[in-house]
Every structure is written in C-alpha cells, then in structure tokens.
A and B are shown apart, each in its own frame.
Chain A
Amino acid sequence: MASGIEAVRSSAPALKRQSMPRAKRAAIVGIPAFFVLAITGSASFGLVVAALIFCALYIPAWKTLPAGKWIVPIGILLIAIFYPIYQPNLFDVLVFGNFPSVDTGVTMMIFIMMALGLNIVVGYAGLLDLGYVAFYAIGAYTVAWFASQHFSNVTLHFGSVGVAETTPGIHLSIWIILLIAGAFATIGGVLIGFPTLRLRGDYLAIVTLGFGEIMPQIANNGDNLFGHNITNGPQGINPIDPPGFGNTLHDTVGLPTDYLSSPNSTRLFYWTALLLVVLTAFCSARLRDSRLGRAWIAIREDETAAAAMGVPLMRTKTWAYAGGAFFGGVAGAYYGSFKGGTFPGDFYFNISVFILCMVILGGMGNIWGVILGAAFLSYLNQEGLANIGAWMNANGVSDFVFGKDIDVPLYTSGIFGIILVLTMLFRPEGLIPSQRRKQELHLGVQDEYLYDVEHHDEPLYDREDA
C-alpha cells in the first residue's frame, strides 16, 4: 500500500515533464485553428469534429502546463464571445438542425445564471429548493417597477436610457436595478429561509414549493393588493426600458447608448448576458472555495459533524439561500429587461423544476457541469425540441415509430421528467460530476438531522430508523 503511493508520487513529475511539449503544441495549434475555421465561414462539419477530437485528445496534457488550468476556460470563453459573429456561417448538425440563434443564446445565458444560483443552494449546501422561481419573479418585477411607467404618479429618472426625461414612472439605470434586484431577492431569500431552514430536507423542499406557488398568485392578483396596483395583474408590466449606457459614456468610451436602438441589439444583449454569466461563475467558484463555501459542503455532507465542528447551521444555510437568491434575482431582472416586459405566467412551478433539472443533469456542485446542463436544456426548450421534431417528421422517423407526425414540444415536460428520473437512477452525479458529490451519492451518506436546540426545547422529530 505504502509503496504504491510512493510509486505514484515518484512517477508524477516524470509524467508531467514528458507531456509538456505535446500540450504546448496542442494549445498553439488547436485553438487558433478552430477560430480560423469558424470565422472564415469554412467551418464544415468534418473540420469542426476534427478540431474537437484534436482538442479532446490534448486536454489532459494541458493541465500540466504552468497556466494550463486556464487554457480550457479561456478557450471556451473565446468560443462563446465570438459566437454571434461566426454563428451565421456554421453548418447544420444532423437531427438538431442549425446552431442556436443568438436570441436563444441570451436565454441560455440567463438560464445558466439561474442554474448557477440554484447550484449554490442545491449543489453546495444540499438544500432542495423547489421554489427557486420566486427569486426570479422578484428580480423580474424589480426591473418592471424601476424601469417602466408602472408607478406613473411619480417621475424619477436616474441614468435611464431610451425614454424621454418627462416620461412618468420610475426609470433607473439597468445596472443599478440589477443590483437592487439581487438585493431584493436576497432579502426575499432570507425572509423565506429564516423560518424554514431548520426543517428537514424534504419538508424544506415542500415549503419552498409552497412559496414558489404563492408567488405567481400574488403576481396574478397583485393589481389590487389592498387597493394598490403592484403587479398589474395578468397583463403584466410592459414595456420595460432597454438597457444601455447613456450618452455620456457613448461619447467618451463608445459604449452603446441604448441596446434596442442599436443596429445589432441581440448581440449586445448576448455579450452583456455572457459577462453576467462569467461574473456569476467566478463568484460561485470563489464562494465554493471560501470559508463559507467549505461550511456549506460540510453541512451537506454531515450536518451533525459540521455543527460539532462549530459551523453555525442556521446562519450558514441562510447565507446559501441568500447567495442563490441573489443570482436568481439578477437573472430575473436581466430577463425582464431582455424581454421588455414581466408577465405572471412566467413564474410557475415547472420553471423551478426546469432549473433544478439543469443542475442535476449537469452535475450538482460542479460549475462546468451546471453550465453545460443549463445551456443544453434551455437550448432544447427554446429551439432544440422543435428542430428535432421537425427533423423526425420530415424524415419519416415519426411515421415509422408512432405512425403519424408528432409535435415534439408537446412532450417537453415529459422529456424533462425522464431526464430527472434517468439521471437520478443511473448517473446521480450528473454529466460532469463534482468529485465529492459523486462519492457521497455512491457511498450513500446517511442524512441524520440535527435538531436545532436554540429553537425547540424538545426535538421535533424522533428519527428511529437506522
């Protein structure tokens, strides 16, 4: 046993030295080649596959370079940044049809943000939140309140773009609103979390589900809340001011004045969303490695042991909730701004499950996994399923299997259900697993709950099972 470890240790540097030149070659050739192919518009299917195989072969070697761990993220980031530019030149994929449009790309980015936020709650802290859509709703309504003519009895302008100075209503700069939305959602998260977080896992899930169900009802009935029109009821609030940087920044730095009046507004929305995603991913990576993040993981793995080591359970869990809620709120606000309106029909339970599905499919606790899961599933929801259905109907697959043409988007919720079940049964750690999570899920940790002595004189639950 000991000699085996020694052998691994002594051989590790040797391996590293050997693979260095190969990695350098790969880095120098692989990424530029991809971009040349992609941007020049000659990106045929075969070439891209060849480039991908080339990259995949060399990925393990890159990690041994001095700055190796940055190569893959930066490569992916570059691919994402230039996507709107080379997207029109891309080829069609078999079955899936064309690559997602930039418009779909924005939605994908927003869902990636939300999934990353939910990942903090579900992936890091291990608390199942079935009402995550509530934070999304809070964010979306915040932007609707602070950047539209909804409160028309006041006129307040601060950094607003795209509306005349005399327009009634509150009009703040979108960048401020994103922060306000995050703050509101955080407050909402703390308010929801504070009384409920001492519940056991599945009870907590139900309570969050209850909040998630109450939220759309408040949105729907909020046009007459004790005589005040808060949410404008089923019609929702629109239009919402477009995001932008205003004239001063436009003239000095060259940033766009306002997105909607720019010639390629979708690209601007896309790049802003991408920036927000990068920020979210960076924050959640840093949070995971922080003292707080380690406390979350400790709680997830064993609540009793974590408490015994001095981790304050309630406070840590509330922070997880607040952190997840913050990103949900920001994503909701940006989505409201992107769509130009906020409607109560967007905040139902299936969205919560949809986001949960992304986190679980991708791999709970792993940022790359969650990004992959969210991108893939939101693409499927926006374009993919319709494309697949069109392909199946056009090529006689539907006829062959079902005997008639089928409407694949009709099966969306069933497909997500199947994804949830199959992932949980056969690969509970997700597509790109987080190593720690994988161990937990396969070894089957026993969730024994600690009773919060501060709140109760007697334990609420007597768990007698082993």
Chain B
Amino acid sequence: MATEQARVRVAFPGKRPDVLTIVGLLLVAAVGVWLLVNFIKAPADFYNLFLIGLTNGCVYGLVAIGYSLVYGILELINFAHGDVFMLGGMLVATMVTDWSLQNKSGIVLWLFILLMLAITMAFCATINTTIEIVAYRRLRNAPRLAPLITAIGMSFILQNIGLVWKGARPTSVPDILPHGAVFTIAGVPYTWNRFIVILFTVPVLMALMWLVQRTRHGKAMRATAQDRDAAAMMGISVNRTISFTFFLAGSLAGAAGLLYALYITNIRYTEGFRVGLIAFTAAVLGGIGNLPGAVLGGLVIGFVESFNNGLGWHAPGSDWTQSIIFAILILILVFRPEGLLGERTPEGA
C-alpha cells in the first residue's frame, strides 16, 4: 500500500498538471481540430491521403523496426540502415528491368515478386551483417560515439555506391503492381498496389514478433539486450546474436526496399538517407527499442507526411514536411525520450 502511494507520488509530483503537458495536449487538440475541419471540407481527399499515409507508414515502420532492433541490442544508431534499404530498392529496380516484369502478369508475376522479395531480403541482410562485422564489432568497448561515427561513415560509403551504381538521377522502376480497386470508400478506391504493401507488411511483422517473443534466438536477443555480460555467462554467443539481429534488421530493410521501389516506382541514392531519418524519427516516436512502437511511429509519421503534403485547409505544404518531421523528432527527444509507448526495456521484455 505504501509503495503504491509512493509510486503515485512519483508519477504526479505536483498537484497542478505540468505546463508542458498542457501545451502538448493543446498542440495535439489543435492538430485534431485541423484534421476534423479538413475532413469535413473534403472527405474524399481525406480518405485518399489517409490511404497514402497508411501505405507509406507501413514502409517507414518496416525500416524503423530495423533501427529499433539494433538500438535495442547495441544502443547504437545504425546510420547506414537507411542506405541498406536504398540499395535494396536499387536491386529491385535492376531486377524488374532486367527480367522485364512489366510484360508479365498473373501468377508468374507474383512468383517473381516473391522471388525478388527473397533475393532482396538476403542481399540487404548480408550487407547489414557485413557492416556490423567490419565497422562495429571492433568498437564494442570503445566510447559510444566511436561506432556512431563509423556508422555515419558507412552510410556515406553506401550512398556513394548507390550513386555510382545508378547515377545521380532518380531511377524509375517499371510499374508492375495491379491498380484495380480492392474496395471503395466515399468514391475513393483502395487500390491493389497500396493493399499489397500492407499485405506484405503484416505477415512480416507477425513473423518477427513470433521470432523475438517465442523462439530461442529471440530469447537470446532479449537477454543480450538486457545485459551483454550476463548473457555471455549464460552461454549465449553474444557476437552471433548481434550478427543475427543485424541480419534480421537488414532483411526487413530489404522487404521495405522492395515495397518502396514497387509502390513509389522510383528510387534515388539520397532516398536512403531521407527515409532512414524519417524511419529513425518513427522509431524514436514509438519508443526506441520497442517493436510495435516502431510500427506505430511509422504510421504516425506516414500520416503526418501525407496530410501535410495534401490537405487543402491551412496545411504547411510539402516544402515543410521534412522540417515538421524533424521538429517532431526534436520535441520527442527533448520532452519524452521514452516515446509514445514508453518502454525502456528493448524488445518488450
């Protein structure tokens, strides 16, 4: 009973609510009102933007999980992650063009897409694991900023590889996804190419959750994240577990790269850095180290982006999207670093 009271007192130190809380709530309320007014003015636009946001949000979520996984286990912001994603997208662009998939249809097309998914995931997972072994492993016990700096360096190297591979202009990917409507709300069709993104994201996420929560590998990951030395004493191979985490993160980046390349239908070498930062923001927003949080954060950022780009009534417009996303990042880091879902322990352990 006494501890209960103490806990309550810690959670609400003063009688008056915090000024910051009030300001934050007012801000959220203002955004809510703004969304509502926009919804009433143009419901069809609103639905459409909602769907765009949902689709982009899924991709961001997939990339964000990669950041979260790695941060959870190493407390390292893997700057190169976004660029791994970008290289995956470029590989997809190459495969689609080389195999001229725009001429195929039906079950053959789907088999090819699944094949591409497998190849891209393997490709990105390999890159990510290699990066870990080359650039981060030696620096396990160095000051924290050392691996962060090598991560930035790796990001630049991968970006340069992308630049040399595909040139400075955006590479267009032939549009191979079907555009028919799955269903229609308020005259806005929910097209297949958008639905496919969710259709791929959800099973990948379920598999990941199962892997982290239910398998021995997942248990090893959680243990390593909690205490590396103790995990090693319990007989867990720490290096292998960390490599496995990078492998998982990379394969998710690969899946995201495939979806992004097929859905957006173009990719550029700077895209990895941009999407990477957005996804990192998403991971922080959801609570870094927290897997469902990363997806939630990705969705929120996706909605912020699409609503800001598209809504007609008093939206700052696409010129400011990136500034708004970074402002969210800064505000979250400064005022609520534990994120929306607020769990400190990684992997939801």
Q: Which A residues are within 8 Å of any B CB, using their own CB? A: 126, 128, 130, 195-196, 199, 201-203, 205-207, 209-211, 213-214, 217-218, 220-221, 349-350, 353, 356, 360, 410-421, 424-425, 428, 440-441, 444-445, 447, 457-458, 460-462, 464-466
Known: A353-B152, A414-B161. A221 touches B337 (CB 8 A): no
Contacts of B197 in A (CB 8 A): none
Query: Do B326 and A210 have beta carbons less than 8 Å apart?
Result: yes
Checking A360, A415, A464 against B226 with a beta-carbon cut-off of 8 angstroms, the contacting residue is A464
Q: How many chain-B residues does the 8 Å CB contact rule pick out?
A: 52
Q: Can you give 13 A-B contacts (C-beta < 8 A)?
A: A126-B145, A201-B144, A205-B145, A206-B280, A210-B329, A214-B322, A217-B322, A353-B152, A413-B159, A416-B153, A420-B152, A421-B150, A461-B344
Known: A213-B277, A411-B164, A413-B160. A425 touches B334 (CB 8 A): no
Q: Which B residues are within 8 Å of any A CB, using their own CB? A: 10, 13, 75-77, 134-135, 138-139, 141-150, 152-161, 163-164, 226-229, 273, 277, 280, 284, 319-320, 322-323, 326-327, 329-330, 333-334, 337-338, 344
Checking A203, A218, A350 against B333 with a beta-carbon cut-off of 8 angstroms, the contacting residue is A203
Query: Do B10 and A457 have beta carbons less than 8 Å apart?
Result: yes
- Cα distance, A460 to B288, chains bound together (Å): 13
Query: Do A444 and B157 have beta carbons less than 8 Å apart?
Result: no
Number of A-B contacts (CB under 8 A): 146
Checking A203, A349, A413 against B337 with a beta-carbon cut-off of 8 angstroms, the contacting residue is A203
Would you give the shortest CB distance from B164 to chain A, in whole angstroms? Answer: 7
Query: Do B149 and A420 have beta carbons less than 8 Å apart?
Result: yes
Query: Do A420 and B334 have beta carbons less than 8 Å apart?
Result: no
Query: Do A199 and B333 have beta carbons less than 8 Å apart?
Result: yes
- The residue among B134, B135, B157 with the most chain A CB atoms within 10 A of its own CB is B157
Query: Do B333 and A411 have beta carbons less than 8 Å apart?
Result: no
- 19 additional A-B residue pairs with CB within 8 Å, beyond A421-B135, A424-B149: A130-B152, A202-B148, A203-B337, A206-B77, A206-B329, A214-B326, A410-B160, A413-B156, A415-B160, A416-B156, A420-B152, A420-B153, A421-B134, A424-B142, A425-B139, A460-B337, A461-B344, A464-B227, A466-B228
Query: Do B228 and A465 have beta carbons less than 8 Å apart?
Result: yes
- Cα distance, A353 to B159, chains bound together (Å): 14
Would you give the shortest CB distance from B334 to chain A, in whole angstroms? Answer: 5
Contacts of B277 in A (CB 8 A): 209, 213
> A416's closest neighbor in chain B, by CB?
B156
Would you give the shortest CB distance from B40 to chain A, in whole angstroms? Answer: 26
Query: Do A425 and B150 have beta carbons less than 8 Å apart?
Result: yes
Nearest 6 CB-CB pairs, A to B?
Answer: A414-B160, A417-B156, A420-B153, A417-B157, A210-B326, A421-B153
- The residue among B77, B141, B156, B334 with the most chain A CB atoms within 10 A of its own CB is B156
Query: Do B13 and A457 have beta carbons less than 8 Å apart?
Result: yes
Known: A210-B326, A424-B139, A428-B142. A220 touches B333 (CB 8 A): no
> A212's closest neighbor in chain B, by CB?
B326
Would you give the shortest CB distance from B66 to chain A, in whole angstroms? Answer: 16
- Cα distance, A444 to B142, chains bound together (Å): 5
